Amino acid sequence: MPFIEGDIKNMPFEDNSLSGYLSFGVMEHFIEGPKEAMDEMYRVMRPGGVAIITTPNNSWNVRRGNIKKGIKNIIKKIFRKEIVKPPFFQYYYGPNKLKSLVEASGMKVTKSTGAAFLFTFTEFFGRKNSHKISRNIKYAKWSKKLDKSFIKALGAQSVTISVKVDAIMHCFLCGDLSAKMESLNKYDVPICNKCENLSNSKYYSKNGFVSFDGDFSFNPPKLSDEIRNCHNCSKEYNTDAIFEDFGFSINVCKDCLKQPDINIKLSNAHVKPIWRDRENAEKLYE
C-alpha cells in the first residue's frame, strides 16, 4: 500500500471509507485545539471504524514540573525579573479531557485511561541518566504494576479507544457489516455474533487494560540478518536488521504477519517492548 501525504484536517479520503485511525502524539500540537482534526477523523471513518488516540498526559511528573516552575516564577516576580514565556509546543490532556474532545467529534469512547509510567520515571531522573539500565529495570517493574492500578491516570500518556457507532457496524475481526451496537457493552470494539466465538475476541473485552504484557528489554544488541523458522508455519525466513523481530517475542515470517488473525494474536499476546536510550540507538543505526 502506498504512503499518502496530506493534511489531517483535510484528508484525501471519501466519507465513511476508513476502518482504522491511529494518532499517536499529534492532537496536542494544535494551538487552536484538535476539534477540526477530530471532526475530519469522524468524517472519514466508516461505521464501526476504530480510532486509537494518545496524547501527553498531565502526569505526576508534569505536575511536579509545573509546581517547580510556578515557584520559580513567584521568586522572579519578587525580585522583579523578567518571566519569559516559551513558544507553544503542545498541550497536556488528561484522560478525561481527551475523552471529552474525542466524544465532541461524534465518536463513542469505549476506553479512556492513562498509561506509560515508565516514561514518567525516565523524565524525572533526566534523559542523561536513561542509559542506567539497572535503574530502568527497577522502575519498569513498578511501572507495569502502576499501569494496572487505580493511579494509572497519572501516567505519561492519555489513551482513548473510540468507535464510530451506528445501528449496524463493521466487525473489528472479520470486517463484515454485521456487528450490533450491543456488542460495545461487552467489548471495546464492534464484534459480530459469529466472531464472539473466536479466541481473539477475548483480547477486546471490557476488562482489559492498556499496557505492555511483556517485560521490557533494555538496550539489547542489534540483531543481524539470520535464518529462522516461523513459529506459526515453520517456514524458514530471513530476519531483517532494521525491523528485527517486528516487535514480537516469537519468530514470525512476513507472510504470517499479513494474516489478520495471526497479527491480532501477536499484537495482544506476544509484544516484546524494547527500551533503547537515544545515544545507544543512534550508535546502532548510524
Candidate ranges 79-88, 134-143, 175-184, 254-263; pick with highest mean pLDDT: 175-184
Give the model's pLDDT for residue 284: 64
pTM (2 decimals)?
A: 0.87
Other C-beta atoms lying within 10 Å of the C-beta of residue 279: 13
d(CA 156, CA 153): 9
pLDDT reading at 247 higher than 90: no
Which stretches does DSSP call E strand in 81-199?
108-115, 157-163, 168-170, 177-180
Residue reference for cell 491516570: 153
pLDDT band at 285 (very low <50, low <70, confident <90, very high): low
Give the model's pLDDT for residue 182: 95
Q: Which of 208, 235, 129, 112 is nearest to 163 (CA)?
A: 112
Which helix (DSSP H) or strand (DSSP E) does residue 257 occupy?
helix 254-257
Give the model's pLDDT for residue 211: 66
Q: What is the overall mean pLDDT for the chain? A: 88
The predicted-structure confidence for 252-261, as pLDDT tens digits, reads as follows: 998 999 998 9
The predicted-structure confidence for 16-55, as pLDDT tens digits, reads as follows: 999 999 999 999 999 999 999 999 999 999 999 999 999 9
pLDDT reading at 130 higher than 70: no
Give the model's pLDDT for residue 277: 72
Which long-range contacts (C-beta less than 8 Å, at least 24 apart) are formed by 140-145? 140/215, 140/216, 140/218, 140/275, 141/215, 142/117, 143/116, 143/117, 143/118, 144/117, 144/118, 144/211, 144/212, 144/215
pLDDT reading at 172 higher than 60: yes
Q: Which of 2, 100, 97 is nearest to 57 (CA)?
A: 97
Give the model's pLDDT for residue 63: 93
- C-alpha distance from residue 128 to each of 37, 56, 284 (Å): 35, 21, 18
Q: Which of 152, 156, 61 is nearest to 118 (CA)?
A: 156
Strand 217-218 versus strand 274-275 pairing type: parallel
pLDDT reading at 134 higher than 70: no
d(CA 164, CA 169): 8
- Averaged pLDDT, 101-126: 90
> How many alpha carbons lie under 13 Å from residue 155 in its C-beta half-sphere?
30
Q: Where are the domains of the chain?
A: 1-211, 212-286
pLDDT band at 140 (very low <50, low <70, confident <90, very high): confident
Residues in contact with 85: Cβ distance below 8 Å, sequence separation at least 6, in sequence order: none
pLDDT reading at 144 higher than 90: no
CATH number, span 1-211: 3.40.50
Sort 231 into a burial class: Cβ within 10 Å, 0-12 / 13-18 / 19+: middle
The predicted-structure confidence for 191-229, as pLDDT tens digits, reads as follows: 999 999 999 999 999 877 666 667 787 778 877 788 899
pLDDT band at 276 (very low <50, low <70, confident <90, very high): confident
pLDDT reading at 239 higher than 70: yes
Give the model's pLDDT for residue 243: 80
> Left, alpha or beta for 216 (phi > 0: left; psi -120 to 50: alpha)?
beta
Give the model's pLDDT for residue 281: 65
pLDDT reading at 128 higher than 80: no
Largest CA distance in the chain: 72
